[in-house]
Amino acid sequence: MMTPKTLFEKIWERHVVVEPPQSPAVLYIDLHLIHEVTSPQAFSALREKGLRVRRPERTFATVDHGVPTIPSPDGRPEGRLAFADEMSRRQIRQLEENCREFGIQLMGLDSPYQGIVHVVGPELGLTQPGLTIVCGDSHTSTHGAFGALAFGIGTSEVEHVLATQCLLQRRPKTCLVNMEGYPGKGVTAKDMILALIAQIGTGGGTGHVLEYAGPAVRALSMEERMTLCNMSIEAGARAGMVAPDDVTFEYLAGRPFAPQGAAWEKALADWRTLPSDEEAVYDKVVTLDVSRLEPMITYGTNPGMGMPITGRIPDPDAITDPAQRAALEKALAYMGLRPGEPLLGHPVDVVFIGSCTNGRLTDLRQAASLIKGRKVAPNVRVLVVPGSQQVKRAAEAEGLDRIFKEAGAEWREPGCSMCIAMNGDALAPGQYAVSTSNRNFEGRQGRGGRTFLASPLTAAATAINGVITDPRTLL
Ligand SMILES: CC(C)[C@H](C(=O)O)[C@@H](O)C(=O)O
Ligand code: SF4
């Protein structure tokens, strides 16, 4: 009898080149994604050492973090750079030059496929089951939704992978996240992952690869599974994964970089062997009953500080652990919130709908379904930023852009935008935002800005009322 294995173990074992005792393994990397922020020093180091890129055909680049999302004044995609700050302009130009010199395919400003790296990889069919995927970006965990082993790396590791197509990596532990039951009306994948992180904490997944399983996960679309895996890193996990199934295969079929013809049939047969074996053992198991969830919202300055939308802000005095109490006190002071208060009805200045967590077509459709035929509140600035050019075109083909614009929202060009505020889209100090992104750290969306993380439905409901709103009241 073969030892039963988890999805993670199967992929890990296929990719280990050597795993000497007491030291990190050498792991072969199938797909390396790069963007303008974490790659420049890596290429400079290659140049200094006289090294080439080992497998340029397995390396793909896009520009996302610093890209202005204001439509080009002259209609040319390049014209967007007119709005870029100096640092972003240099990084984008540098990436263009590096890709030219090293023979790497770039989804640049003029590409119909440009977008956030974690949106672009899947929609091009680059992201596939069974692959090892890295990117100098923590939300690389998104790609695990396809049953790939995908994680973020640092800039020196980007250099290492560029030069060798391999990475030194300690074997992580495994954690099964069992999602029981089915979510109710208005409760989305974003609420499931915010609830999980609220339950296990931002350190709950440390050292582990999370495998999301259970009927609620199987029922999710690929885009929803990506939302789930995207935030694995916010629980401290190395990666997040969902075993591939027919939903995965249907999503991938016919995508530009997916296998075709006989190669597709061969790949499919292989991918079907990847899901964890029935008797496989995990280092840890966590269970979340999603049938009891409400839409979630964060009140603090890390993604674990989340609560059901009808809840009340917790009281630091009720926390016994001094470090945790201090962290909550500091967070509430920054957020300008008081313990025991509800968040429902709290005014906001900005609503941001976008990012690699919730900037895909499904997310925009959900937001539009609430906004359609309504107006956004006059006191709120609403930014809708599609995750990629493909998402933008698909949304426009369905008329979603018109729904947003007629309601008084801004319809932007693709990029990371106000998720990280590196491109000029930023909160003013003290402003409150409901954001569909993944991080609510101090200053994340602009210096002094205050972020409530929530789903696209909650964001849209809040945009309409101008105060934090339970989307179930508008559905
Ligand atoms: C800029 C980049 C390195 C960073 C990351 O690693 O995730 C960013 O994408 C983020 O979301 O904070
Ligand atoms: S959208 Fe936000 S989380 Fe995603 S890669 Fe860009 S900055 Fe990072």
- For ligand 1, the distance from its centroid to the CA atom of residue 137, given in whole angstroms, is 5
In one letter, which amino acid is 258? A
pLDDT in tens, 264-322: 999 999 999 999 999 999 999 999 999 999 999 999 999 999 999 999 999 999 999 99
pLDDT value at 169 more than 90: yes
Atom of ligand 1 nearest to the CA of 233: 7
Cα–Cα dist 337/413, whole Å: 33
Q: Is the dihedral of CA 352, 366, 176, 143 positive or negative?
A: negative
- For ligand 1, the distance from its centroid to the CA atom of residue 445, given in whole angstroms, is 13
Q: What is the SS3 assignment for 119? A: helix
Q: Which of 120, 137, 453 to mutate to test the pocket of ligand 2 (most atoms within 8 A of CB)?
A: 137
Instruction: Return the residue whose CA atom lies nearest to atom 6 of ligand 2.
Output: 416
pLDDT in tens, 399-423: 999 999 999 999 999 999 999 999 9
| Beta bridge partners of residue 180, listed in sequence order | 289
Scored b (16 or more CB within 10 A) or e, 195-208 reads: bbbbebbbebbeeb
Give all domains of the chain, ordered by start, each with its CATH number: 7-169 (3.30.499.10), 173-244+270-292 (3.40.1060.10), 297-473 (3.30.499.10)
Q: Which ligand is nearest to the CA of 388?
A: 2
For residue 1, the model assigns a pLDDT of 65
pLDDT in tens, 431-471: 999 999 999 999 999 999 999 999 999 999 999 999 999 99
Our answer on whether the CB atom of 358 is closer than 6 Å to any ligand 2 atom is no
For residue 78, the model assigns a pLDDT of 87
For residue 2, the model assigns a pLDDT of 83
pLDDT value at 249 more than 80: yes
pLDDT in tens, 183-197: 999 999 999 999 999
pLDDT value at 77 more than 90: no
Cα separation of the two ends of the chain = 52
- For ligand 1, the distance from its centroid to the CA atom of residue 443, given in whole angstroms, is 14
Cα–Cα dist 416/84, whole Å: 13
- For ligand 1, the distance from its centroid to the CA atom of residue 403, given in whole angstroms, is 31
Instruction: Return the residue whose CA atom lies nearest to atom 1 of ligand 1.
Output: 37
Residue indicated by tokens 């920054």: 334
Q: What is the mean pLDDT of residues 189-217?
A: 98
pLDDT in tens, 352-370: 999 999 999 999 999 999 9
Our answer on whether the CB atom of 65 is closer than 6 Å to any ligand 2 atom is yes
Residues contacting 131, CB < 8 A, separation 6+? 11, 30, 31, 146, 148, 149, 150
pTM (two decimals): 0.98
pLDDT value at 373 more than 80: yes
Share of the chain above pLDDT 70, in %: 100
User: 205 is written with which tokens?
Assistant: 């997944």
Residue indicated by tokens 């890193």: 233
pLDDT value at 98 more than 80: yes
What is 410-457 written as a DSSP string?
Answer: EE--SSSGGGTT-SS--PPTT-EEEESSS---TTTTSTT-EEEE--HH
What is 265-307 written as a DSSP string?
Answer: HHHHHHHTT-SPPTT---SEEEEEEGGG---EEE-SSSTT-EE
Residues annotated as binding site?
356, 416, 419
Our answer on whether the CB atom of 437 is closer than 6 Å to any ligand 2 atom is yes
pLDDT in tens, 250-273: 999 999 999 999 999 999 999 999
- For ligand 2, the distance from its centroid to the CA atom of residue 175, given in whole angstroms, is 25
Q: What is the mean pLDDT of residues 117-142?
A: 98
For residue 103, the model assigns a pLDDT of 98
Cα–Cα dist 307/45, whole Å: 45
For residue 133, the model assigns a pLDDT of 99
Our answer on whether the CB atom of 444 is closer than 6 Å to any ligand 2 atom is no
* Average pLDDT value over all residues in the chain: 98
User: Using an 8 Å Cβ cutoff, are 8 and 211 in contact?
Assistant: yes
For residue 150, which of 56, 213, 244 has the smallest C-alpha distance?
244
User: Using an 8 Å Cβ cutoff, are 222 and 228 in contact?
Assistant: no
